[in-house]
Amino acid sequence: MKVLVTGGAGYIGSITVEQLIKGGDEVVVFDNLYQGHRDAVHPDAAFVLGDLKDRAAIDAALATHKPDAIMHFASYTLVGESMQQPFMYIGDNVTNGLNLLQSALAHGVKKFILSSTANLFDKPERMPIDENERIIPGSPYGESKNILERILYWLDRTQGMRYACLRYFNACGASAERGEHHDPETHIIPLILQVALGQRQDFAIFGDDYPTPDGTCVRDYIHVIDLAQAHILALRALNEGSRTYNLGNGRGFSVKEVIDTARAITGHPIPTRVVARRPGDPAVLVASSEKIRRELGWTPQYPELRTIMETAWNWHLAHPHGYAK
């Protein structure tokens, strides 16, 4: 299968491209390199430097490469930034997605995978969170993904577009060749590992008085390769109909557990300081992945936090400055 991957130079997109190619698929990466890195793109993938704001550029890529399916990762993704710049998220994320979907239908591409988000669930009524949980987006970023999910629902009903929406929690870890490099970095595991690398003085814990066993927030972490494989399994299943899945390990780990695991792996003391809670941070967020396990046979290869962090640490040791030359 030939797959066009938007955002294929980014963290999750590039590792999904890697996994697609390992599985024998042909891949075209469409990325504007706003947050992505050219060096992250697999050498066997075709690369198109383009922006989803430019409908003509999308049309040209689809006309030239004629993909069978699209995986859509390209997006503004910072929850905090979306609270400050809502139009950038509800506006650009949705408009860019519409450009891509309109072009896909115009070129006969009717298989679409949306990289969605667990930020759809701001106030879950049950834990772990399954696909039947009520949707209350926690930010303009989450709302932008919700809107795209609803658009896909109607395109399935009216145009025969087959889609899968994958909502996931904290992606982490690395493959041997590709890892996590954001600027600015906001994710917990690379921030902690930057302390171990001597690039950051300490790690800030946002609150230690939550109603959890050690007082810090509990989150669900999923290895990026497991996440990529879930996207690929969902793509293979589209002939049997559209679908939506929540993705996670099904287990929660506290911030202190993540820090202690990093200390054990790196041998670094990793100094910490406790600062005020961030507004809106729930005490516990854990996903139920029972549906995708049952329907598609998805089984995480990296269920243990230590293994996940070891892959991240090995990549950061080999690439202490990320993809920077």
| Catalytic position from the list 141, 168, 221, 245 | 141
Dist CA 33 CA 20 (whole Å): 20
Looking at residue 325, its pLDDT comes to 57
The bridge status of strand 252-254 relative to strand 218-223 is: antiparallel
236, with CB counted inside 10 A (0-12, 13-18, 19+), is middle
Domains of the chain: 2-172+221-247 (3.40.50.720), 188-219+251-318 (3.90.25.10)
Tell me the average confidence (pLDDT) per consecutive run of 10 residues in the chain, 325 residues long: 98 98 98 96 98 98 98 93 92 97 98 96 92 95 97 98 95 97 92 97 97 96 97 98 94 96 98 90 90 97 96 97 83
Residue with tokens 């679908």: 243
Looking at residue 131, its pLDDT comes to 97
> Catalytic residue at 141?
yes
Give the Å distances, CA to CA, from 293 to 78, 117, 300.
29, 18, 9
Q: Is the pTM above the cut of 0.95? A: yes
The alpha carbons of the chain give a radius of gyration, in whole angstroms, of: 19
